[in-house]
């Protein structure tokens, strides 16, 4: 073949095939060199990228570590502050608990002292009442004995006269005298029985006087700040006038009549109603042992409260509170009349009477526990405490209803009553019942 090309290596003339062969070998070597160089460059770039990536990672880690340290420092500071606040709060809570406990201990001590004083007073009253009952029984036994001795002396004297007469007269006169003696003896026996009944049974006026005296003393003792006066016998008016005072000022009156008759008479109510109007009193109370048919313990007849003597102190306490409340509010006569009507309607309702009777029963249970106190002190005190708490709850419910009537608005809405202590139910004066 004819030489037409120059050799790339030595510039000599070579054939076309040789040139292509040499060129192919050169291309192969260059390609190999390029491949090797490319691999070197790739490796270099890879190492450089890895180094750069490592540096960036270290920078990022240092930045994250710094930020974490800052955040951790803040969180630690916040935690320490919260711990300090918690410790301060616990200290304040402990101090408050100590103060609350000290105040509670003081309140409990005062309440125990008050209850002990009330208990001592109740024991003294009970002992005095028992002593009065024993004295009355002793006087009654002495009177019975004296009446029996007088009757026996009279009978012996008559029998002695009969013997003298029989010795002087004949059999007919003896029989007549004996018959007369028997008649006189029967009369004396009847007289003895009548005298015994008189000793046992007092008249209605005598019983009324005794009840009036007991009621007078009980009201004066229970309400020493008020003025309780007795109306003299023979003078028109009720038996007692209870003048209610508030801070030394007279703010109302309650007239009270005491009746101890065996039967009920509506004349008692009409007479006391007239006495109330004459005295200008806010309320009228009839203390009676007899009640209208179908009623007992307490009722209202013609705007007159009829109640048993043992319960009168509590009713006076209730009425006294209403009088003072109306006086402080400065209500008009119409407003007073409206509230009084609603108050009477409340105290004669079934729910009020049910709770009132239950409270009375609890009070009687307390008195029964007092009798058994010497035999079982601890048991009695525990039971008395439970009953007293129960009675206090009942009386507080009653007092709340009463306060709702007194403090309520005229349109029938009921204001929230001021919580007050339950009224003290005075111990009824014990006396011998009429036979």
pLDDT band of residue 195 (cuts 50, 70, 90) is: low
Q: Is the model more confident about 372 or about 220?
A: 220
Looking at the predicted structure, is the pLDDT value of residue 244 above 90?
yes
Q: Is the model more confident about 97 or about 158?
A: 97
- Residue extents of the structural domains in the chain: 131-200, 204-407
Q: Which strands, in side-by-side order, build the sheet including 298-301?
A: 227-230, 240-246, 249-259, 283-288, 304-307, 298-301
| CB neighbour list of residue 381: distance below 8 Å, 6 or more residues apart | 373
The 3 state secondary structure assigned to 252-280 is EEEEEEEECCCCCCCHHHHHHHHHHHHHC
Q: Does domain 204-407 have CATH number 3.40.50.150?
A: no
The pLDDT value recorded for residue 234 is 76
Identify the residue whose tokens are 């509590």: 314
pLDDT band of residue 131 (cuts 50, 70, 90) is: confident
Instruction: Please provide residue 61's backbone torsions phi and psi, each rounded to the nearest 5 degrees.
Output: -65, -40
Looking at the predicted structure, is the pLDDT value of residue 33 above 60?
yes
If you average pLDDT over residues 5-13, what whole number do you get?
76
Q: Output the CA torsion 235→239→244→249 (10° steps).
A: 20
Identify the residue whose tokens are 């002992």: 127
3-state secondary structure of 15: strand
Q: What is the spatial distance between Cα 256 and Cα 273, in angstroms, rounded to a whole number?
A: 10
Q: What is the spatial distance between Cα 112 and Cα 109, in angstroms, rounded to a whole number?
A: 5
Q: Which of 12-16, 75-79, 422-426 shows the highest mean pLDDT?
A: 75-79
Q: What's the mean pLDDT when you consider all of the chain?
A: 77
Query: How many other CB atoms are found less than 10 A from the CB of residue 15?
Result: 13
The pLDDT value recorded for residue 432 is 38
3-state secondary structure of 241: strand
Dmax over CA atoms of the chain, in Å, equals: 221
Tokens of 344: 């009477």
Looking at the predicted structure, is the pLDDT value of residue 285 above 90?
yes
Q: What is the spatial distance between Cα 152 and Cα 139, in angstroms, rounded to a whole number?
A: 20
% residues pLDDT > 90 (the chain): 5
Looking at the predicted structure, is the pLDDT value of residue 412 above 60?
no
If you average pLDDT over residues 178-190, what whole number do you get?
59
Is residue 259 within 8 Å of residue 268, measured between CB atoms?
yes
Looking at the predicted structure, is the pLDDT value of residue 275 above 80?
yes
The pLDDT value recorded for residue 25 is 84
DSSP 409-420: -TTS--PPPPP-
Region of poorest pLDDT, from 245-249, 277-281, 408-412: 408-412
Is pTM, for the whole model, over 0.85? no
Looking at the predicted structure, is the pLDDT value of residue 383 above 50?
yes
DSSP code of residue 303? T
The pLDDT value recorded for residue 135 is 84
Q: Which of 242-251, 350-359, 426-435 shows the highest mean pLDDT?
A: 242-251
Q: Output the CA torsion 68→71→75→81 (10° steps).
A: 140
Is residue 336 within 8 Å of residue 326, measured between CB atoms?
yes
Instruction: Single out the residue of 129, 114, 215 nearest to residue 424, CA to CA.
Output: 114
If you average pLDDT over residues 107-130, what whole number do you get?
85
Looking at the predicted structure, is the pLDDT value of residue 413 above 60?
no
The pLDDT value recorded for residue 403 is 72
Region of poorest pLDDT, from 2-11, 137-146, 194-203: 194-203
Q: Output the CA torsion 136→207→316→319 (10° steps).
A: 170
Q: What is the spatial distance between Cα 22 and Cα 30, in angstroms, rounded to a whole number?
A: 12
Q: Output the CA torsion 185→190→195→199 (10° steps).
A: 130
Q: What is the spatial distance between Cα 228 and Cα 142, in angstroms, rounded to a whole number?
A: 35
If you average pLDDT over residues 314-343, what whole number do you get?
86
The pLDDT value recorded for residue 252 is 92
């Amino acid at each position: 073949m004819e030489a037409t090309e120059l050799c790339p290596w030595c510039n000599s003339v070579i054939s076309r095939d040789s040139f292509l062969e040499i060129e192919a070998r050169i291309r192969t070597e260059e390609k190999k060199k390029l491949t090797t160089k490319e691999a070197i460059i790739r490796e270099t770039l890879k190492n450089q990228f890895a180094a750069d990536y490592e540096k960036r990672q270290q920078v990022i880690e240092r930045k994250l570590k710094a930020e974490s340290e800052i955040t951790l420092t803040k969180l630690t500071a916040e935690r320490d502050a919260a711990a300090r606040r918690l410790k301060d709060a616990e200290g304040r809570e402990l101090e408050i608990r100590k103060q609350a406990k000290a105040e509670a201990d003081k309140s409990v001590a005062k309440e125990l002292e008050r209850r002990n004083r009330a208990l001592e007073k109740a024991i003294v009253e009970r002992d005095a009442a028992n002593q009065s009952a024993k004295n009355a029984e002793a006087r009654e036994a002495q009177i019975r004995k004296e009446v029996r001795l007088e009757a026996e002396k009279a009978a012996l004297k008559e029998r002695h006269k009969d013997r003298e007469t029989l010795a002087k007269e004949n059999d007919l006169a003896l029989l007549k005298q004996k018959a007369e003696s028997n008649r006189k003896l029967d009369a004396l026996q009847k007289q003895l029985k009548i005298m015994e009944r008189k000793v046992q049974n007092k008249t209605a006026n005598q019983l009324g006087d005794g009840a009036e005296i007991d009621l007078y003393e009980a009201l004066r003792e229970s309400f020493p700040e008020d003025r309780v006066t007795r109306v003299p016998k023979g003078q028109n008016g009720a038996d007692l006038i209870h003048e209610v005072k508030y801070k030394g000022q007279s703010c109302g009156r309650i007239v009270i009549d005491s009746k101890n008759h065996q039967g009920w008479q509506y004349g008692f109510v009409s007479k006391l109603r007239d006495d109330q109007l004459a005295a200008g009193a806010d309320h009228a109370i009839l203390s009676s042992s007899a009640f209208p048919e179908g009623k007992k313990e307490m009722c209202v007849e013609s705007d007159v409260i009829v109640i048993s003597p043992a319960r009168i102190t509590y009713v006076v306490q209730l009425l006294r509170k209403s009088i003072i409340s109306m006086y402080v509010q400065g209500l008009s006569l119409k407003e007073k009349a409206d509230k009084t009507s609603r108050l009477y309607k409340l105290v004669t309702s079934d729910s009020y009477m049910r709770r009132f009777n239950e409270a009375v029963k609890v009070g009687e249970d307390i008195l029964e526990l007092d009798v058994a106190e010497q035999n079982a002190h601890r048991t009695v005190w525990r039971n008395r405490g439970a009953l007293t708490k129960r009675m206090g709850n009942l009386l507080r419910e009653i007092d709340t209803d009463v306060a709702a009537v007194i403090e309520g608005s005229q349109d029938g809405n009921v204001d929230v009553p001021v919580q007050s202590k339950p009224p003290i139910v005075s111990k009824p004066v014990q006396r011998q019942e009429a036979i």
